[in-house]
Each structure stands twice: as structure tokens, then as C-alpha cells.
Amino acid sequence: MNNALSFAECSARERIAALFDAGSFHEWLPPSARVMSPHLAQLGVPSAFDDGVAVGRARLGGQPVFVAAQEGEFMGGGVGEVHGAKLVGLFQRALRDRPSAVVLLAESGGVRLHEANAGLIAVSEVMRALLDVRNAGIPVIVLIGGRNGCFGGMGIVARCADHLVISDTGRLAMSGPEVIEASHGVEEFDARDRALVWRTTGGKHRYLLGDADQIVADEVPAFREAALRALGASRPLTLADLQAEHRLLAQRLAAGAGADDAVELWQQLGITNAQQVPDLNAAQVHELRQPAAATS
Amino acid sequence: MNMSAELESLTFEFPGTQVVAGFAPVLVGVVGSGNLEVLLEAGAGASCRFDVQTSARGFGTIWAAVCRDFHLRHPLAGVRVSIHDMGATPAVVSLRLAQAAAEIAA
Amino acid sequence: MIWSEVVRQLFGEVAHVSADGDFLSGSAVLDGQTVTVVGTTQHAPIGYALALRQAAVVLDTVARHPGRPILLLIDTQGQQLRRHDELLGINRAMAHLGCCIDLARRQGHRVIGLVYDQALSGGFITSGLIADACYALPDAEIRVMRIPAMARVTKLPEARLAALSLTNPVFAPGVENYVRMGGVRGLWGTADQPDLAAGLRAALADASTADQRAADGRARGGRLLAADVVQQVLAAA
């Protein structure tokens, strides 16, 4: 019986405490500093002392890293003005201090709607700051495994990182199924069909497609091991990289044109018994992926 | 429960006897539906002061009772307890307060 | 203003920009310098395919025209809300577009965004908002989400959100608001400054490449905390 700590069930702070070298996390702008949202009180919504994200430095396998962990339970992990600025500050500081990596534990619905415009600008500032760090040769490693998944603008930000790790139960996409259903009806996307939601946005699909570099079980030690493996994975973007990425994405568009479900895409990838994929565990799914599907 | 768009702020203060020597601020819990976060810090003066911000209005007497019960068990002095609440039950509030107290005692 | 009129006011009668459905692309000349023009029209929903089409133009410019500026013309209703796009990984296609624009900037191409009609959220984050600077026409609107959907997700009443949209900078969709918050550098085609070409000329001449939006937000009073919080993280012990 596996009793490893579930990543999904931990709070952001519990994940930090359990994933990085014991006792190594030093927080910047901690809760007692009370750097909070200026926009929530007017809506009758309580603020969080850390505005839903803890940032700081830590060690991973003895290596100095910068860390950010989004708290999915607070406002769905949505990015507001202060939350976003903490992330931008972390990335800008990484440019100056050059840690071995920046590790982002992403759990977010994207822009915090309660802060609307401020949140939208904040997410784009985070994206730019992340790319500055990546292209300075400091790997940005994103870990996705929270219950709320990684959606919206953060789903885009995550794909700007050097390296992405997702659990088999994690989710990575752009629009949430509920939003799609509300827009185009239940025939378009039945948000209550959990199996469909996970086939479409879940970690197994994202990994098999090549949108995630590693797939792990929902266990904090597994995420730690994956992050350790990713420490050297700096991949600054060149024109050649993006041209290769473009070819990959264009090919995927063509090949997937008629596909209505993930199972068809998995079959196209040469996976036999594709219908069984949802029943497999992370290690088994890892075995299935062919090198051709790897990210460029 | 609450249709108003204002947060309710509540403050309670109790004279304490149990001084805790120099502890780092402790945060327990998360602000989410039915949940709360509690920040325990060294405070000015000799009392234990509770500052509550809650989206669930109209439960002042219950908050007073919960804080008083907690302080009877942990008569902390020179401590500030700051709470952001989103509709937690008294049982959950008591649990978080107890968790916070345990962390500074450790 | 329709896209062809925007192009005419920016570049005069001789411009080689065309629409293929929702997709705009081509080039035009300003002060003897050729500018790549790419973007969308008809309040396009940006799906996987349309993100890729725009990225292709950006990559082509980087590959074949060193130093050529790029103008992004933005009119979008946001990301395409279809299961098929999610299945294929629309977030990755969007990120790709953003990374292509970011690469262009890094390689010395000036990238300027212009919201000439509307811009919503996902259709905007990886285009205008990742440019060197984003501008807008005075009547343009920028939103995160339409009010009915926002009410559903936030559980805030529609009437409340509608009222906030009139008075509160965080919710109001008018572009003056985005200027104040630093998200938009400035407006072209105002009463004070009616000449769009002058706006583009000034934007292209500005060589700054750092992200100054938080500083602008603080200086203009629309977003008071972001820049300071960034500084606090940089300075923290």
C-alpha cells in the first residue's frame, strides 16, 4: 500500500515544506508582511496574507533554487495584482541572483476575475518575466498537480517554461470545461463527464501528446525526484527551436483535424489499446510515449 | 447566508498570563470556502488580541465565544491572532486556533 | 474603425495587407521602412489554428527580414472556446505565439500591438500584451471576460459587476483605464493626437525593451502596488 504524501491534497506551503530540502525554504514577503490584495475587500471577499502565493528561495538536492507555489484553494489560485507582482519579482530577482532554477508549483485558474484588468496585465507581466529568465539560461521548471489544475493565462505561462512536470491526475489546459459548456453547450463539452475532462485536459493526455516533459504519480516525493531530474534542463529559445515547435504544432493540427476524442489522438501516436490509457498509472503511461512525441 | 458585499471586522482582547518567548510568526490554514487562515504573531502589550475579517456576517457572538474558549485553554499574553475567514464552522475555527497554538509551543 | 481604415491611416494608400477570413497579414511601409502587419479582425476567437497562423508570420519575419518591425492588429473576442482546441493543446499554441513574439523582440524586431476594436483575455495575452508596447484606439475595449460569464464564475451578481464596470478601474473595459493601469502605453487617434501614423512612428522610435508597465501603472495612479511589490521581492533579505 502506497502511503506517500499526496501532492494534490497538500496546501501550497505543505508542498514547499515536503518537496524541497528540509527546512531550506526562506520566504520573501511572508504572511506577516501583510502584502495583500487591494481589490478584494470592496467585493466582500477576504484577502490572504500572502495573496495566494508563497515565494522565496530554497535548496533542491543542495542546489540553490527560487520557488513559487500558488495556493489553489484561495480564489482558485487566480492571479491578482499582488500575486502576479510577487511572481514577477521572483523572476526578476532570479535574473540578478542566478539560482540553479526557478521552480513554479502552478495551481491556478488564470487571471483572478475579482481583479479583472489588474489580473490580466499581471499574468502577461509574469509571462514576460518568465521568458526573460528562461532566455538568460536559468531553467524554469513548472510542476502541475493540484486539484484545480493549471488553466487560463497560467496554462499559457506554464508552456513558456523550460520544463514541465505533471501528475496523472493533474490538468493543464486553457479554458475550463464549465466555461466551454456555458458558451457552446453540453454537446460541445459536458463538464460533468469527469472521464472526458481528464482525457482532454489531464496529465496523461498532456504527457502522451508531448505537452509535459515528465509524468508522475500524485506524490510529493515523485515531484521532488522529477524536479531534481529537471535541474539541468535549461532550453533558451532560438529561432530554430521555434521553427521546429511550429512544425510540430502544425503537424498536430493536421493529424488531429478529424479527431473528436483523445483516444483517437493516442491511437495516432501508435499506442495500442488506447482506450486503456485512463486506467494506467503514471509509470505505465510514461512507458507508452514514443520519442517522436517529445517536446522540441 | 450573507448577501452583503462588506466584510465584517471583529476584535476581541483578553488579558493573558502565558508569555511565549520570541517565536516566529505562525500561519495555519487557507482562505477558501468554509475555511480560514490564522496568523499568530508577537503582539504589543500583555493581552491576547484577536482581529477577525470574515465574509460570513452576523456571527459576532459565536466568534467571541470561540475566541474566549480558546483563550481559556491557552491564556496567551503578548500575542496577536489575525484571522481571514470565509465561513468556517466554529469547530474548524477552534481547530485552526489550536493548531496555531501548538506550533508556537513546539 | 475597420482594419483596412486603420491600415490606410497608418500607412497611406499603398499597403499590402489582406484579410483571409479573420486573419490579417501582410506588410506596409512607414517612412521608407517596411513593417510586417499581422493580426485578426471580426472579433476573431483565437483558436489553435489562428494562433499558429499569426506565429508563422512572426517567424517568417524573424527568419527573412532582420530588424523589420512587426505591428499586431488586435480585434478578438478571446480564446476559442471549443473542446477540440483544448484537446489539441490551445494553451501550447498560444504560448508558441507568445514565444515567437518574444523571440522577435529579443532579436531586435520592434513589436507594437494596437487594439483597434476589442481584446479579451486569452486572445490578447500572447499577442498585444507580449509586444514591446501595446497601444489602442480611443473607442476600443479590453476585457477579461464578459459580465454574464464572469458572474457565473465569481458568483458575484451581474448587476454588481455591471455597476463596477462603470466606475471601477479594475473592471471598466475602456482603454483609458488600461492606459492608467499601465497595460496600454498610450492611445492613437485621440482628439489631441488624431494622427495614427504619428503614434506608430513614435512607438517604433522608442527603443526601450524592458517591461515598464508596472512602473507606468504606479506613475499614472491606476495600479499602485505592483511595481512596489516587485521592488520588495528584489530587496527582501
Cα gap A265→A252, rounded to integer Å: 9
Long-range CB contacts for residues C65-68, cutoff 8 Å, separation at least 24? C65/C34, C65/C36, C66/C107, C66/C108, C67/C108, C67/C109, C68/C33, C68/C34, C68/C35, C68/C36, C68/C109
**What is the rounded average pLDDT for all residues in chain A?**
96
| Sign of the CA dihedral with A125 first, then A128, A130, and A132 last | negative
| Amino acid (1-letter code) at residue A200 | T
Q: Which residues pair with A183 in a beta bridge?
A: none
* Per-residue confidence (pLDDT) for residue C236, from 0 to 100: 98
Residue from B10, B23, B26, B30 whose CB has the most chain A CBs within 10 Å, to mutate: B30
Has residue C3 got a pLDDT over 60?
A: yes
pLDDT of amino acid A290: 64
* Chain A contact set for B54 (CB, 8 A): 46
Helices vs. strands in chain C: H and E counts, helices first: 11, 11
The residue among C213, C230, C231, C232 with the most chain A CBs within 10 A of its CB, best to mutate, is C230
% of chain B with per-residue pLDDT over 70: 96
Does residue A226 sit within a domain? yes
What's the maximum distance between 2 C-alpha atoms anywhere in chain A? 55
Chain B residue with CA closest to A70: the answer is B30
Q: Can you read off the three cell numbers belonging to residue A183?
A: 458558451
d(CA A246, CA C63) in angstroms, rounded, equals: 13
What residue type is assigned to position B42 of the chain?
A
Q: A100 vs chain C: nearest CA distance in angstroms?
A: 17
Average pLDDT over residues A155-182: 96
Looking at residue A293, its pLDDT comes to: 46
- Residue-wise pLDDT for C46-70, tens only, equals 999 999 999 999 999 999 999 999 9
CA A138/CA A104 separation, integer angstroms: 13
Return d(Cα A147, Cα B80) in angstroms, integer.
33
Does some domain include residue A1?
no
In this prediction, residues B25-36 reach a mean pLDDT of 97
Region C135-152 average pLDDT: 92
3-state class of A249 per DSSP? helix
- Distance in angstroms (rounded) separating the CA atoms of residues C161 and A96: 41
Going by C-alpha positions, the residue among C222, C159, B5 that lies closest to residue A40 is: B5
| Prediction ipTM score | 0.97
Tell me the Ramachandran region of residue B49: left when phi exceeds 0, alpha when psi lies from -120 to 50, beta otherwise: beta
User: A273: helix, coil or strand?
Assistant: coil
Q: Give the residue carrying C-alpha cell 526578476.
A: A92
The nearest alpha carbon in chain A to B41 belongs to A32
- Residue A61 inside a domain? The answer is yes
Give pLDDT, residue B27.
98
- Sign of the C-alpha dihedral computed for residues C7, C11, C14 and C16 taken in this order: negative
Residues C110-128, mean pLDDT to the nearest whole number: 94
Range of the domain at B54: 8-105
- The CA distance from C126 to A153, in Å, is 9
Query: How many helices (H) and strands (E) would you count in chain A?
Result: 11, 7
Could you tell me which of C135, C139, C91 has the C-alpha nearest to residue C110? C135
How far apart are the C-alpha atoms of A251 and C74, rounded to whole Å? 26
Residue A57 domain-assigned (yes or no): yes
Among chain A residues, the shortest Cα distance to B5 is held by: A44
The CATH number for B83's domain is 3.30.230
Mean pLDDT, chain C, whole residue set: 95
pLDDT at A82: 98
Domains of chain C: 3-210 (3.90.226.10)
Does a structural domain hold residue A2?
no
* Mean pLDDT of the region A168-177: 97
Q: Which residues pair with C111 in a beta bridge?
A: C70
- Which chain A residues touch C229 with a CB distance below 8 Å? 29, 35, 81-82, 85-86, 89
Query: What does each C-alpha distance from C46 to A256, A271, C122, C125, C168 come to in angstroms?
Result: 18, 31, 8, 11, 28
Mean pLDDT of C112-125: 94
Residue B53: closest CA among chain A residues belongs to which residue?
A46
Tell me if A89 sits within 8 A of C233, measured CB to CB.
yes
B96 contacts chain A (CB < 8 A): no
- Burial label, A96 (beta-carbon count in 10 A; 0-12, 13-18, 19+): exposed
pLDDT at B4 over 60: no
Long-range contacts of C155-164 (CB under 8 A, 24+ apart): C156/A43, C156/A114, C160/B5
Please report residues of A whose CB lies closer than 8 A to that of C152.
182
CB contact under 8 A, A35 and C232: yes
- The owner of cell 526573460 is A132
Give chain A positions within 8 Å (CB) of C145. Answer: 113, 116
Quick one: pLDDT band at residue A291, thresholds 50, 70, 90? low
Which grid cell is A77? Answer: 489560485
Does residue B2 lie in a domain region?
Answer: no
In a mutational test of the B interface, the residue from A74, A75, A107 whose CB has the highest number of chain B CBs within 10 Å is A74
Rounded Cα gap, residues A60 and B68, in angstroms: 43
Q: What's the whole-number mean pLDDT along residues A8-16?
A: 98
Nearest to A56 by CA among A35, A30, A85, A82: A30
Position B17 pLDDT exceeds 50: yes
A47 domain-assigned:
yes
Segment C113-127 mean pLDDT: 94
Helix (H) / strand (E) element for C229: namely helix C226-235
Domain count, chain A: 1
Radius of gyration of chain B (CA): 13
pLDDT confidence bin for A209, thresholds 50/70/90:
very high
A191, part of any domain: no
pLDDT band at B3 (very low <50, low <70, confident <90, very high): very low
Answer yes or no: is B99 within a domain: yes
> How far is it between the farthest Cα atoms of chain C?
58
Write b or e for each residue in C40-52: b if 16 or more Cβ atoms lie within 10 A of its Cβ, otherwise e. Answer: bbbebbbbbbbbb
Classify residue A284 as exposed, middle or buried by CB count within 10 Å of its CB (0-12, 13-18, 19+): middle
**Nearest residue of C to residue A185 by CA position?**
C82
Instruction: Report the share of chain C in percent with pLDDT over 70.
Output: 100
Among A202, A229, A216, which Cα is nearest to A139's?
Answer: A229
User: Residue C122 — very low, low, confident or very high, per pLDDT cuts 50/70/90?
Assistant: confident
pLDDT tens per residue across span A125-148: 999 999 999 999 999 999 999 999
Compute the nearest-CA separation of B16 from chain A (Å).
22
For residue C125, the chain A residues in CB contact (below 8 A) are 120, 123-124, 127, 153, 156
Average pLDDT over residues C79-107: 98
Residue C131 contacts A, CB cutoff 8 Å:
no
Residue A65 forms part of a structural domain: yes
Q: What is the pLDDT of residue B2?
A: 40
What's the domain count of chain B? 1
Domain span at residue A123 reads 12-172+212-236
Q: Does A114 touch chain B (CB under 8 A)?
A: no
Query: Are the C-beta atoms of A29 and C236 separated by less than 8 Å?
Result: yes
CB atoms within 10 A of CB C116: 26
pTM of the predicted model as reported, rounded to 2 decimal places: 0.97
